[in-house]
Structure 1
Amino acid sequence: IPVMLVFFLWFMHWKRSTLRKYGEFVVISRLIPDMSKAKHWFKFIVLILALVFMIVGIANPQIGSQLEKEERKGVDIIIALDVSNSMLAEDIRPNRIERARQAVNRFIDRLSDDRIGLIVFAGRAYPLLPLTNDYAAAKMFLTNATTDIVPVQGTSIADAIDLAIRSFPQGPQGKALVIITDGEDHEGNVIEKAEEAYKREITVHTIGIGSVQGVPIPLYRNNVRVGFRATRDGQTVMTRLNETMLQQIAAAGNGVYVRATNAQFGLTWIFDEINKMEKGEFEAKAFAEFESRFYYFLYLALILLIIELIVYERSSRWLRKFSRFIPVLLIFMSFDVQAQTENKIIRRGNKAFENERFQEAELHYRRALEENNNNFRGNFNLGNSIYRQDHYDEAARAFQRAIANQTDEKELSKAFYNFGNSLLMNQQIPESIEAYKNALRLNPSDDDARHNLVYAMNLLEQQEQQQQQDGERGDDDSNQDEDSTDQQQDQDEQQQEPKEQEQQETQQPQQISRQEAERMLQALKEEEQKTMEKIKEEKFQGERMKIERDW
């Protein structure tokens, strides 16, 4: 812009100097009365403003850091974590409290619409995080759950339950309290508190962590173990898991007790129990995604350019040429705005898909397809979300639409792969084989497609063999039935006239004997056994199907 300003000033000075060569400026101005110095400056300012708006538009300014309210259905969950010194014992690796934090982290990853809160307790209980659906904040606060966070040592499970009762809001939604501790309660009246929680419709689950036999509590200095905790008289402190108390707490709170081990912590079973609880509606707040606003500035730049053309009566040749592209520019901008809207909705669907809210993701993708039904990303991701809901026939149709609206071989290969998965899960084996073949034609290095193709072809071969064997067995059964019928007819015909018997015998077709039918059945069984042994020898690896690719 400064360069353009300098150039414009130089141009105006050069123009004025050139005109003076032809005579006095006053006389020349009378010869060209339409010339206006103000118009030149006005035109230049309009062009500069148009350029400024174009630069800002190309920079793609975005807004959207405001909170949006969302209606969700879920369960309120509070996790009460024991942070007493006994949780530093190392019978659970790396130690009890660190293993508990890792398990809670994975538990939070599985949540979708539920709210979660955190309580830490030792000699007293303290709220670490109120109920929220901000899972990132929950993980951040969880890292602060250490044995140093509570000033009073001990283990007061009753205080933790009492604080949880006061932390749960009123409402029809399910309420669950998960207590993670070694169960060494030093305060008492914990069973009464659990019963009180149950009366207030709060389910109390317990997870016992530690060894029943008892282990010492290590002491570390500069990350080096220097000994074990001991009493004043020098006796080593042993911490033991009190399973009996934790079982009683869970029974009083109508919950379940799970003992944590190095292999399995137990929150998976707790999560399954929580999922069975009644979901309640509550309002949640989330940050809205950033939205592009470049088109406003480009529209302003376009309007200013049009004004500049209208004001300047003798437009230059390059401006006249540029004006021809204005309708094309308007059409391009309208399409770009539409594409931005579609992409924004698809991004929302992707976010819901990543959080395993597949029904919500499906709604977002369908909204995007209302804007443009030929959008490849919308159809592809819609197929993925429907597939995850086990609606394979509808998912296959979505992948078909995606295939019809894509020319890129890599993306087409992905679409054919997912299309084949949907067909295979829908028991359309021949069609799935053709889809996998198409995926491999477009991407010969796709090992997943090759694996599933072999799997589907073996399934088809086994299916055909089974149908053939069933058909042969059906013929054998029919022959046996006809043979028994013949015997019965022979007994009846002995009581009839000889002439009538002769006539019926000439009408009977020739049948195989019962012994021949049994021999045929035995041969079929032996052939089937040989086929199964051959499959085992070939070590067939088609026992699972690769999941579909996500966008």
Structure 2
Amino acid sequence: MSFGFSMSGLALFAEFFHFLRPWLLLLLPAVAGLWWLVRWRGAGRELPEAAIAPHLRAALTLGRSDRRRLRPVDGVALGLVLAVLGAAGPTWSRVPDPFVAQAAPMVIALRVAPSMAGEDVAPSRLERAKQKIRDLIELRAGARTALVAYAGSAHSVVPMTGDAQVVQPYLEGLAPDVMPREGNDALAALALAQGMLARESAPGGVLLVTDSVSGADVAGLDAAAGSLAVLAVLPPGTGDAGLDALTLPVVALTPDGADVAALDRRLNAAFRRALAEDGDQPWDDRGWLLAWPAALLTLIWFRRGWTMRWAAGLALGLLSLPGGARAEGMADWFLTPDQQGRIAYERKHYPEAAEHFTDPMWQGMALMRAGRYEEAAQVFARLETAEAAFALGLASIRNHAYRDGVRAYETALARDPDFPDAAANLALARRIVDYVETAQEQSDIGEQQDMGADDVTLDNEENRGQETEVQGEAGDEPMLTAEQWINTVDTDAGDFLRQRFAVEAAQAQ
């Protein structure tokens, strides 16, 4: 799936902006007429010029010099206009679905070549590229991301995942010496990335992070401009013939986060469009945004001579309309905890959102987005809805509590047999549990005693396989615990990637 990075947020706003209650806009002509009557009725008749001297005429005429000044009715009219517009329910986006990531799936294709080891960008081009990738993944918290490395050949490093912790060690292990062949085959990386995106259910994009592009690849990359953006890892004032020849957006490296923010906006433009076209979610009423300037305008009504109680009553009446221009239900001009939580959630400040939410469902989703799966599971477990049981299953699986996940999905189906995706997730969770227990059943503790386990116990709820508890013999050398033994295993991601890439390159040949 592809989309255009050229679609700006302003274009999306213009395309989807509408009013949920447009019939309330009929009040605008009434407000305009009322303003005109009050504003100009005090003009009065002007004295004949021949009847009185000009200086006396100017001194005896009231209201003439006030016509161009700001009068109470002007502020009242503006406040009423804002109140009417807010009550009409302006909107341009859907209410976010807590079960769906609010960012587009993305494949990051990173060039890993000797030129990327250059130190003209501190600490090096490659390390700066990794920093930018980490910043982008953090900004897109919870979004599905995959990583591809390329030089003379392209290789999948990490498949699509919503867990940023999975990407981190493999990203750190990338270095020029892990690549089987030197070169700059950006088209191979693009083809591999597009294959990953084709398996996603939502529109996504490819981010090419490189310091150069081969002239032979320019045409192919431009042909994918609808789904491709480029981050040029070059020092300021430095160019590359291939990068300069591209017509698709190329974002220059910046010392702050401006480049990352620009890439995120371009990546999510069409994704937000797809979400806006999704009719399953209600439109997000943004009328409350207009309540704030309307409220500020009422402050001038406390000035001496500016009080207009009838206008204040009318404005408050508009603001109190059901679903109207209130700060999502606020009556005293202050946001409720749930409203503050929603704002933090939409800004991807998930830990802060979890602290604000009093709605347990939203609080649990915020905790899960923040990676606090155990706490999220505790919140969902207190609710008795199919939706909460489904969310409990998600939190349990992500917390590696697979049996709890199975039970949660079973509960969701018991509460609602037709709950979307519950049956599929239950089958997947059962396969995971069966795989874990089968692996344990096939293990022979007698053959493992020489590994030196010291009081190791594994979960075996169905008693499949032998009990996994082993005691060291007296007089032997101090035996390693499971954690200590695992820490002695060489887990260098660079060595693993070097071997895997070499095998893939040989198979391709």
Q: As a proportion of its length, which structure holds more strand?
A: 1
**Per chain length, whose mean CA-contact separation is higher, i.e. which structure has more relative contact order (CA < 8 Å, sep 6+)?**
2
Structure 2 length-normalised TM: 0.35
Q: Normalising by structure 1, what TM-score? A: 0.33
The structure whose Rg is larger is 1
